[in-house]
Amino acid sequence: MAKLKIRGRIFFSGLFYYCLAAIILTIALGQFASLFYILGTIGLGLLGAVILLDLILLFYVQQDAIEADRIIDEKFSNGDLNTVQLFFRSNYRFPTYLKVIDEIPVQFQERNFQLNLNLKSGQSETINYDLRPTERGEYLFGTLNILVQSPLRMLVRRWSKADNQMAKVYPSFKEMKQFEMMAISNRLTEFGIKKVRKLGHQMEFDQIRDYIKGDDIRTINWKATARRNHLMVNQYREEKSQQVLSIIDLGRSMKMPFEGMTLLDYAINTSLVMSKIAMLKEDKAGLITFNNEIRTIVSPQRSGKQMQVIMEALYNQKTGFQEQNIRALYTTIKRQIHHRSLLIIYTNFESLSSAKRQIPMLQKLAKEHLVMVIFFENTELRKLTENKATDMEGIYIKTIAEKFAYDKKLIVSELERHGVHTILTEPGKLTIETINKYLELKARGLI
C-alpha cells in the first residue's frame, strides 16, 4: 500500500473560528459587565487547551497514520462510465473524520469534487466513483488529498499522495464487449437488433448430401443424383471472409456535438463495434480515415490482433476544419482495395448541395463495391419542428428548421437513387442502426 506523506500545514477548522468568534464577542461584552469578561477569558483558555490536545492527537501517530491508494484502469472507455476506486485505512487510535479531495483530470472540468467518510481506529474503507469521458486521449490524475480531523474537530491535518496516474481513453470497448457477448449468446435482439430472414440461396458451396424431405428442389444436383441413383442436393453456407471497411470522415462536419461527444466519437465507437461484429460473422474488418487527404489505412484482415490494431488506429483520430475529399478516398480504394467490399462511410451532410458535390464519387464507388453511407439527423432541428410557433419569429424559425429536415430526407432519396445504401440516424442510435443494416445486407446475399 502506498504511503502518504505530510505536505502543507495544519489548518484550523470552521468550528475553531466559530468558537473564537463567540469568545471575542463575550470578551467585548465584558466592557459592560465583568462577568462576560471572566467567561470569555475562561473560554479562551479552554480553547487553547483543546487545540493543544487536538494537536497532540493528530500528530501522535507520525508514520503511516493514514494509508490511501487510488486504483484506476490503464484504459478508459470513451462515452461510458469508468470506475475509480479509492482505498483508505486509519491507523489512529481514535475515530477520524476524513474529507477527500481527488484531483481528477482537467478534461472533466470538475472543480468541487469532494468525498466525506468516517473511519474508526484500524478500519479500512473503499469508495468508488464513476467518470464518463467524452473525448479520447490521455487523462492525468493529480494529487490525492485527505483532510483528517479528530473527534475534537478543531484542527485539520492534510495528508497527500502526490502520485500522478495516467489513464488513456480509448474508443468505447465496453460497448464493443457488450455487443460481442450478446452476439455470441444470440441475444442481440435485447439491444434492438432485428432478426432478418435470409432471402434466396447463399452462394458459397459447402457439400453434396442426400435429399431430405423439405429441402428446396432447386438445390437438387441432377448429375450426382444420376450417379448415386437417388436424390442428392447441393448444400450452401453463408458466405464468409467478405471485406468490411469502416470509413470515417474527419472533416469539420463531424465536429458537431451531441450529449457531450462529437459525431466523430460516435462514429469511432460504432466502427469499433462493427469491426468486432463483422469478425464474429467471419468477415474481414478494415479501417480508413480521411478528411482533405487519407489519414489512416488498416487493411481488412481477420487475424487475432486485428481488433487491437483498429483500436490503436482509432485512438488518435481527431477532427479538423478541412473539407472531406471523396475523390482522394475513391483513388485510394481504387488502388488498394481490389476485392468487392462493404464500405461503411460515416460522414455528415447538412445541406442538399453539399451532398450533391459528393454523389458522383460515391456513385463510382458503388459500381465496384457495396457502399453504405451513414449520416446524422440534427436532433435540435427536430425539436424546433415539433415546437408550436406562437409568433411570426417562431413561424420563420420552424419553417427554416423543417426545410433543413426535409433536405436530409432528400439526400437519402438522392443517394439511394444512385445505388448507395443510406442510413439517416440519431447519434445515440447509430450503433443499432448500423448493425441492423449490415445484417440485412448480409441476409440478402449482397455481401
- CA-to-CA distance for 53 and 256, rounded, in angstroms? 59
- Digit-coded pLDDT (tens) for 410-428: 999 999 999 999 999 999 8
pLDDT of 381 higher than 70: yes
| pLDDT for position 2 | 45
Share of the chain above pLDDT 90, in %: 45
| pLDDT for position 1 | 44
| pLDDT for position 294 | 92
Strand, coil or helix: 392: helix
How distant is the alpha carbon of residue 399 from its chain centre?
35
- CA-to-CA distance for 307 and 276, rounded, in angstroms? 7
Share of the chain above pLDDT 70, in %: 90
Place of cell 496516474: 165
Task: Report the length, in residues, of the chain.
Answer: 447
Mean pLDDT in residue range 291-319: 90
> 44-48, 100-104, 125-129, 443-447: which has the minimum mean pLDDT?
443-447
| pLDDT for position 5 | 46
| pLDDT for position 183 | 61
pLDDT of 161 higher than 90: no
- Digit-coded pLDDT (tens) for 267-304: 999 999 999 999 988 899 999 999 989 999 999 998 88
Confidence of residue 361 (pLDDT cuts 50, 70, 90): very high
- The residue with greater pLDDT, 16 or 259, is 16
CB 376 within 8 A of CB 431: no
Mean pLDDT in residue range 248-269: 90
Mean pLDDT in residue range 222-229: 88
For 1-170, CATH number out of 2.60.40.10, 1.10.3720.10, 3.20.20.70, 2.70.150.10 equals 2.60.40.10
The CA-atom distances, in angstroms, between 425 and each of 93, 221, 278, 341, 372 are 61, 45, 21, 23, 13
| pLDDT for position 81 | 93
User: Cβ contacts of residue 424 below 8 Å, gap of 6+?
Assistant: 375, 376, 377, 408, 409, 411, 412
| pLDDT for position 7 | 45
- CA-to-CA distance for 91 and 66, rounded, in angstroms? 6
| pLDDT for position 193 | 61
- CA-to-CA distance for 444 and 398, rounded, in angstroms? 40
| pLDDT for position 379 | 80
The CA-atom distances, in angstroms, between 127 and each of 102, 115, 159, 214, 320 are 12, 9, 17, 61, 39
| Dihedral (CA of 102, 106, 110, 111) sign | positive
Residue 343 identity (one-letter amino acid): L
Residue 57 identity (one-letter amino acid): L
- CA-to-CA distance for 226 and 8, rounded, in angstroms? 95
CATH architecture of 173-197+239-443: 3-Layer(aba) Sandwich (3.40)
Region at 246 (left for phi over 0; alpha for psi -120 to 50; beta for the rest): beta
The alpha carbons of the chain give a radius of gyration, in whole angstroms, of: 33
- Digit-coded pLDDT (tens) for 39-81: 999 999 999 999 999 888 888 765 678 888 999 999 999 999 9
Burial of 260 (0-12, 13-18, 19+ CB in 10 A): exposed
The CA-atom distances, in angstroms, between 296 and each of 242, 288, 317, 329, 368 are 21, 5, 9, 11, 21
User: Cβ contacts of residue 348 below 8 Å, gap of 6+?
Assistant: 249, 253, 254, 256, 263, 375, 376
Mean pLDDT in residue range 28-32: 88
pLDDT of 362 higher than 90: yes
| Dihedral (CA of 204, 210, 214, 217) sign | positive
Label residues 370-384 b or e (16+ Cβ within 10 Å = b). bbbbbbbbbeebbeb
192: closest CA among 393, 440, 431, 15?
431
| pLDDT for position 385 | 78
pLDDT of 266 higher than 80: yes
134: closest CA among 287, 275, 257, 312?
257
Q: Domain residues of the chain, as ranges? A: 1-170, 173-197+239-443, 204-237
> 156-170, 183-197, 280-294, 376-390: which has the minimum mean pLDDT?
183-197
Average pLDDT for the chain: 86
- CA-to-CA distance for 196 and 103, rounded, in angstroms? 49
Mean pLDDT in residue range 16-34: 91
CB 378 within 8 A of CB 405: yes
What are φ and ψ of residue 335, in 5° steps? -85, -35
| pLDDT for position 202 | 54
| pLDDT for position 392 | 84
Reported as type and span, the H/E element at residue 110 is none
pLDDT of 184 higher than 80: no
| pLDDT for position 67 | 87
